[in-house]
Amino acid sequence: MSGSSSIFSVGNVNKIVAGAGISVSPGNGKGTVTITATAVPGSSGEVVTDLADVTLDVSVPSGAVNFWDTNPTGWNAATGGKQTVEFDFYLNNLFTLNPDCHFGVILRSDPAGAGSYVNGHGLIVGSLASNIGVEEAPNVPLVAMETWYGPTGGNYVWKNAEVTRKGKFTDGSDYRVRVESTVHSNGDKYVRGTMWKKDTSTTPFHWENIFESGDNYDHNALANFTKSGVSFFVVFGAGPSYTLAPGSSLDISNVSVTWGPAGNTVPDVSSKLSRYGASLDGDITFVTNSRRIKVTNSGSPTNWTAFQAKQTNSPTSVLAIPNGTSTSAEFFATNNSDTSSAYSGVVLGASTTKAYLSTYNIGTANYDLDVNIGAGNTVGTFNYTGFKFTGASKNVNATWTNLIHEPGGPNAVAFVNSPSVDLIPLEWWCTAGNIASFLPTNPVDTDLETVLRPLYCMFSAMYKELLDKKLL
C-alpha cells in the first residue's frame, strides 16, 4: 500500500523517523508535513511521528484534543499492526482543584465519533470510583485501562486498577506514559499501559516505574480498530460545564506515535498476587484441603501480622458471616495442630437465637474455661459443674444481690431443711425469686425476700471464705 498522509496538529511536527520506503517532503510552515509511505502490514519498518504539545485547561470547553491522522502507513488497515503512543504530562493543580476528574488517552480514535461517541481503547488516570467501584474515596487518583465501544456506546474498565499506586499521582509532578494498541493477525486485540514518575531525589533525576498493566486482552468487538487517531481528554472537571477549574491544567508534551508490526504480547500480570503486596477484587478461594495462612507473631506485637481497618481513625472489626441459608458463624481455636484425632478448643459464635462461648473436645477431657484479668491472673473458672470465683475477688454490687458463690457447684452445701426438698443448698436461697416462691402467697412475699436475701448472700460469701482459709 502506498500513498500520502497529512498530519493534523496543533503546532509543528518536529520529527519523523521513517522506515523503509518512507520519504518526507518539506513542511509548508503551518504545521503540516506531507509523507509518502510504502510501508505495508508485514514489513519491518516502523514510522514514528511527533505530535504537538497539548494543554487541557478551562479554555478547552470540549475537554478534548484530537489528532485524527497519525501516519499509520497502512499498519492500521489490517491485522498485524501496533499503535504506540508515548508522552509526558505535568499535573498543574489538576486534582487539587478538580478532585472528581479523570483524564486519559484513546488510541485508534475515530473522527466520525467526535462529540458523539468514543472509539478505541487506552489509559485513564484520576477519580475512578464511579467506573470500577473500588473501595476508595472518589477523589483518590488511580490508573486503569479502558476500552470504548464506538457508535454502539458503552465502555469497559479493567478491574485491575492499581489501588496500591494511589499515592503516586500528585499535583506538581511529572510523569511519562506509554500506551500500546495491538491487533494481531488472528484478530485478537490487546491494550497495554506503562507509567513512570519523575524522581528528583537523585542527581541526575530518574524515572520510577509506577504502573505496568501487561497486555490486557480486549473483548471489544463493537469498536472499529482500523482507525488511527489519538485523543487526549479530561472529564468531570470542577469548572464550567464540567471543564477544568480555572488555575488548573493537564500539560502534555513530547508526544510521539509509532506504527509498526504487532510483535509479541506480554501477558497481563497485574491481577496476580505479588509477594510485595496486591489489590484484590474478588474472593480468595483455596481449591485444596489443609491450606494455611501463615502469620508472624513473634517479638513485639508491632511486628505481628494484624487485621486493620483501612479507613484512617476507624475501629477495626473482624467479621465471620454464614453462607447461604445458614444462620450460624463461629471463631474456633484449638490446642492441637493435628485435629484429625484428639484435641480441645473453644468456640465463639452466633446462632439463630443467641451468641455463645463454648469449649469443645474430641478424645480429651472437658475443658475448663478461665476468666483472666491480666496475664495468668484467673479470677474465675467455668467448669463442667458451674462457675467458681478464685482468689480474693468477689462479685459484689450495691445491693449484694450478686454475692453468690458457685451456685450448683460442689461447695453448695445444704444448710436448710424444707418440707418439699430434703436439702436446699445455700445458693438456692441467694437466687432471686426463690425465697418469695417458698413463702405462703401474700402481699409481703417480695418485701420479705428483699430483707432476707442479702443476709443469705453475705453468709454464703462468709462461709466460702472460711472454707478457703481451712477454718471449716
Q: Please identify, among 208, 243, 261, the residue that sits at the C-terminal boundary of a domain.
A: 261
Number of domains in the chain: 2
In which domain, by residue range, is 189 found? 3-261
pLDDT in tens, 102-154: 999 999 999 999 989 999 999 999 887 665 554 455 557 888 899 999 999 99
> Distance between CA atoms of 75 and 80, rounded to whole angstroms?
7
pLDDT for 459: 75
pLDDT for 257: 97
Q: Position of cell 442479702?
A: 454
Domain identity same for 257 and 402 = no
pLDDT for 373: 86
Query: Is residue 368 in some structural domain?
Result: no
User: Shortest CA distance to 215 belongs to which of 253, 184, 246, 257?
Assistant: 184
Query: Is residue 171 in some structural domain?
Result: yes
pLDDT in tens, 182-215: 999 889 999 999 999 999 988 999 999 988 888 9
Query: Is residue 176 in some structural domain?
Result: yes
Which cell numbers hold the place of 82?
Answer: 501496533
DSSP helix, strand, coil percent of the chain (3-state; round to 5): 10, 35, 55
Q: Please identify, among 261, 279, 296, the residue that sits at the C-terminal boundary of a domain.
A: 261
Largest Cα–Cα distance in the chain? 123
pLDDT for 87: 98
Q: Please identify, among 226, 261, 296, the residue that sits at the C-terminal boundary of a domain.
A: 261
> Distance between CA atoms of 139 and 309, rounded to whole angstroms?
19
Query: Is residue 356 in some structural domain?
Result: no
* Three-class secondary structure of residue 179 per DSSP: strand
Bridge partners, residue 185, by sequence: none
Which cell numbers hold the place of 236?
Answer: 468531570
Amino acid residing at 263: G
Backbone angles phi, psi at 272, to 5 degrees: -95, 145
User: Shortest CA distance to 128 belongs to which of 147, 146, 106, 115?
Assistant: 146
Query: Is residue 63 in some structural domain?
Result: yes
Regions in the chain scoring below 70 on pLDDT: 1-44, 129-139, 160-167, 267-282, 389-426, 438-446, 472
> Distance between CA atoms of 378 and 352, rounded to whole angstroms?
32
Which DSSP letter does residue 167 get?
T
Query: Is residue 300 in some structural domain?
Result: no
Query: Is residue 309 in some structural domain?
Result: no
What does the buried/exposed string (b/e) look like for 266-302 if buried means 16 or more CB atoms within 10 Å of the residue's CB?
A: eebebbeeeeeeebeeeeeeeeeeeeeeeeeeeeeee
Q: Which three-class secondary structure string do you get for 383-413?
A: ECCEEEECCCCCCCCCCCCCCCCCCCCCCCC
**CATH, residue 182:** 2.60.120
